[in-house]
Structure 1
Amino acid sequence: MLGVVAAAPAPPGWTAGAAQGRPYVYLEGAAGSVLEDTLSVTNPGPKPLTVRLSGQGTPLAFAARTVTVPARTRADVPFAVTVTADTAPGEHRGTVSAEAGGRAVRVPVHLRVSGPSLAALTVEKVRLDGSGTVHYTLVNRGNTVLAPSLSLRAEGVRGTVLDRAARALPLTLRPGERITRTEPWPDPPALDSVTLDLRATAPGAPAAAARAERVFVSGGAVAAGAGALLAAAGAAAALAARRRRDRAVDRHEMPVEEPQLANVVDVVDVAAGADR
């Protein structure tokens, strides 16, 4: 047990015995206040142990940065967290650490700053690559910790090609945090014009949505000749038409009829002639 240290929030009232029932430090107060708690450091070994204390994530000060704990003894070390005047209301996270003999024990610190809370989530930089993988970034724009869920829906020229119900993501977002993720689509269409809608939600926050578009053309389809070229060009033209209609609606204009794909047929004829 030499060099091993244990650390936990001190029991209520700084009573004797091992700290129990507090898996993390919880502090709550207004911006501009100083909040106090105590860390219990235990030496279970047969010799005195010098322990170094530190904190991360919040302005934190210990009564002593280094403490020597006798064998099989516990030391209670007070510490204070300063909540600066410009700290945003909501939840903040940090840690206090006790290190000895090259090993560190970290205790979570949950700080709640009183004031109006705001839950706000955005989804940005949505992109659909050629393999069907969806790339996106989630951003916590509020001052509370968010647990987001995600749903996907994709429409092709002939209807829905992907409909994935909302599911909870294995992550939480702290205020101001952003994270970039991917979602696989194992069987995207071989030949289609696709519009993907991505929707992210979190308890207490308005839903966030974003859109990506892509024309899928597989290598095998291109090699199939003029018919595949015509279908691919048609899909691209359909996507372009959809974009123009959306822009016209946004500007409160009447959509303009799309021209026939005579130029596409010309391309196909040229390709067919090259095959001959």
Structure 2
Amino acid sequence: MVLAVLLLALLPAPAAAAGEDPGWTVRPAGGGSAGRETRPYVYLEGVPDSVLQDRISVANPARTPLTVRLRGDGRAGPWLRFGARTVTVPARTRADVPFALALPGNATPGDLAGAIVATAGGGTEGRVQVRVRVGGPTLAALTVEDVEVSGGTVRYALVNRGNTPLRPRLAVRADGVFGVLLDRPERPLPLELAPGRRVELTEPWPDAPALDSVTVRLRVTAAGGARGEGAASAAYVPVAPVAGGGLLLGALAVLGTVAHRRRHSRGESRASTLPPPSPAPVGAAEDGRPPRVPGHLARTGAES
């Protein structure tokens, strides 16, 4: 019995079946005590027009060699460089593969991410996240664009015009002819806006008016002093039979007149308060010159 157990222990383990995943892995190179990996991702930091270097580790526990093909992915993907795109790792071996990330001279300062993708035969794939910080001054800037008001929905777009990720906050206000219709205080939006990213969003307005002329204003802020504003106007007209069309047109005309007066009331209140000019003396001409004397009176005065 003991001899049989010893013989089984000496026999080689069976090879992995064809097409079976051998359990290979790819991760950042370098580990802690007892070979445990301590880096969840590769972190690189540098200034534009510099080359940053690091290594990844490909482990092959199978009894046959493993061949993987490497490529870059994500925003940092085009900047990744490999000494060889195809790497063969011997059986039961772990190989450290060097790579470089070349920051172009026009790289925008800030944070960005990418990945190294390793693909083996059979379509199995492993990824190593790469996070990059490009040195230089950061700029937080965003814009609010393409604001539209339609029914109970306000549509708009946010664009990150800076070089740092933003977590925007939104405030909404709507003014009608007779006062404020909507005033939502600033609140965070559930998104992170990457540099250069544009996202189209909607803001619900379920209690929009049935008959009014409104102006909706959006104000968006983010950390770092980023601020953007946008506005749009719309006329709300209730659906009515054709017979009431004249009444609707009249109501809209009144709304438009009131809105126009409200917009210009502030400017008119600042008009000059100087007293009106004094009336011209009796007989004086409108241009202020002495009055003309009839010819026969002028000659009589001259003869006297």
TM exceeds 0.5?
yes
CA distance in 1, matches of 2:184, 2:62: 54
* Structure 1 partner of 2:200: 180
Alpha-carbon distance in structure 2 between the residues aligned to 1:63 and 1:2? 26
Question: Is 1:24 aligned to residue 24 of structure 2?
Answer: no
Shift of 1:163: 2.0
User: 58-67 or 100-109: which moved more?
Assistant: 100-109
- Measured on the aligned residues, the alpha-carbon RMSD in Å equals 3.0
Q: How far, CA to CA, are the matches of 2:144 and 2:126 in structure 1? A: 35
Question: Aligned AA for 1:199?
Answer: R
The residue type paired with residue 234 of structure 2 is R
In 2 relative to 1, CA 223–194 (structure 1 residues): closer, same or farther, beyond 3 Å? farther
Query: Any unmatched runs of 5+ in structure 2?
Result: 1-19, 272-304
Judged with a 3 Å threshold, the aligned counterparts in structure 2 of structure 1 residues 8 and 217 are, in CA distance, closer, same or farther, namely: farther
Q: Does 1:55 align with 2:72?
A: yes
Cα pair distance change 1:182/1:5, threshold 3 Å = farther
* Deviation of the 1:174 alpha carbon: 2.3
Report the CA distance shift for 1:16/1:66 in structure 2 as closer, same or farther (over 3 A).
farther
* Alpha-carbon distance in 2 for matches of 1:238, 1:70: 83
The alignment-based identity, stated in percent, is 52
Q: Is the 8 A contact 1:52 1:99 kept in 2?
A: yes
Deviation at 1:224, TM superposition (A): 5.7
Aligned to 1:123: 144
Aligned residue number for residue 21 of structure 2: 2
Q: Is residue 224 of structure 2 the alignment partner of residue 204 of structure 1?
A: yes
What whole-Å deviation, never above 9, does each CA across 1:127-156 have from its counterpart, x for those lacking one?
112x23222121111111212121211111
Residue of structure 2 equivalent to 1:36: 53
More displaced stretch, 59-68 vs 195-204: 59-68
Contact 2:22 2:61 in 1 (8 A): no
Q: What TM-score do you get using the length of structure 2 for normalisation?
A: 0.70
TM-score (norm 1): 0.76
Higher Rg: 2
In the comparison of the two structures, how many residue pairs are matched? Answer: 246
After superposition, the Cα gap between the structure-2 partners of 1:81 and 1:229, relative to the gap in structure 1 and judged at 3 Å, is same
Tell me whether 1:156 sits opposite 2:173 in the alignment: no
- Aligned match of 2:104: 84
Structure 1 alignment gaps of length 5 or more: 255-276
Map 1:109-258 to 2 at 5 A.
Answer: 109-129=130-150, 131-220=151-240, 227-240=247-260, 245=264
Displacement of 1:83: 0.8
The residue type equivalent to 2:159 in the other structure is V
Aligned counterparts, 1:91-106, within 5 A = 91-100=111-120, 101-106=122-127
Letter in 2 for 1:30: V
Partner Cα distance (1:216, 1:3) in 2 = 66
